[in-house]
Structure 1
Amino acid sequence: MNTPNNKRKKESIERIEKVFISLLQTNELNEISVSDICKLAGLNRTTFYANYTDIYGLADSIRDKLEHNLSDLYQNEITRGFNSNDYLKLFRHIKDNQIFYKTYFKLGYDDSYKIITYDINLARQHFENRFIEYHMEFFKSGITKIIKLWLQNGCKESPEDMYEIIKSEYQGRADSGKECSDTL
């Protein structure tokens, strides 16, 4: 294994991603060129194309990285096969990684992949197995929009405040006997 070249490749990828994310804060994806990225990163186009097929391949790589980081955040739960619905952990992660999440949403990936995986078994239990798809979509879309608004406002509220907002929005179900307050 050629360690110096691996280190150089990793550094090049990090520079490309950093410049790309920075450009996305002020430009749309279709306004960013490989030349722009390479110029700002101080790399040649050959280096870019050795790592990505095009701008969209780079965007997909960024998305994969965020989704992987998010999976790592809940790895213990995934391994043990349960969902704690620990949204406080999620909000803390978002606050600590605001630029990454803003980039994710700016790329429009939230339309095809919702950040939140929904606990189908819990939903079946609380909604008596009725209209599950609608409840799932409502929840995932709602929390995604709340996260986007929070990011747009600079994450001024604390993660604890955001958790309380989510909890209070779904508290009504607990009052009607449909959902337990400790599920969020």
Structure 2
Amino acid sequence: MRLIHTTLFLAGALALTACNQGAEPDAAPAEPAADAPAAAAPAADPAAPPAMAMAAPVAVAQLEPTKDSTVKGSISFTVVDGQLRASGDISGLQPDSEHGFHIHEKGDCSAPDGTSAGGHFNPGSSEHGSIDATAHHGGDMPNIKADAQGNAHIDGPVASNVNAGKGDAFDIIGRGLIVHADPDDYKTQPTGNAGARLACAVINKAP
């Protein structure tokens, strides 16, 4: 009787072993289908800085109105591709008007009419003219144009022979900035016949 029980026990154990050896191993995690859509990219953070930052200002000027004028604005000077550019906004102009816009020789806006800023900044002793002309003052810049609300956005070049911060005779820092009442004709010497001065600023080194 004991022999029968032992034989049955061994037979059962062998059967269990055979079943376990024949069992399939745990399946590996399924690979994603080749045509499954990729996970959506995270949304861009609107507060993130742009990929390319704008050039930092090297000089700034805060235009204030002269007597009986309402013209004012804020101008920054930056270096783009090795050349100075002026950019900013001016308000208080006559609607749809055009005005001369120059760097002047003195950073002095004490006179009520702005004449304390002196004449055009002209370190190269050149004739006055358009910035595109061969001869022009270091302080010559393109005219500014106001929209129907009397506002003007500035984004234009400064003469190529001037700089900001070198401390030499061609440095615009410490000079004056003037908005004139009339457009510059780019030919009348030495002012371009741009008329009275509506706003004046001292050009300062950017903080």
Shorter-chain TM-score tier: under 0.3
Q: TM-score, normalised by structure 1?
A: 0.26
Q: TM-score, normalised by structure 2?
A: 0.25
Between structures 1 and 2, the one with greater helix share: 1
Larger radius of gyration: 2
Select the structure with the greater relative contact order (CA < 8 A; seq sep ≥ 6): 2
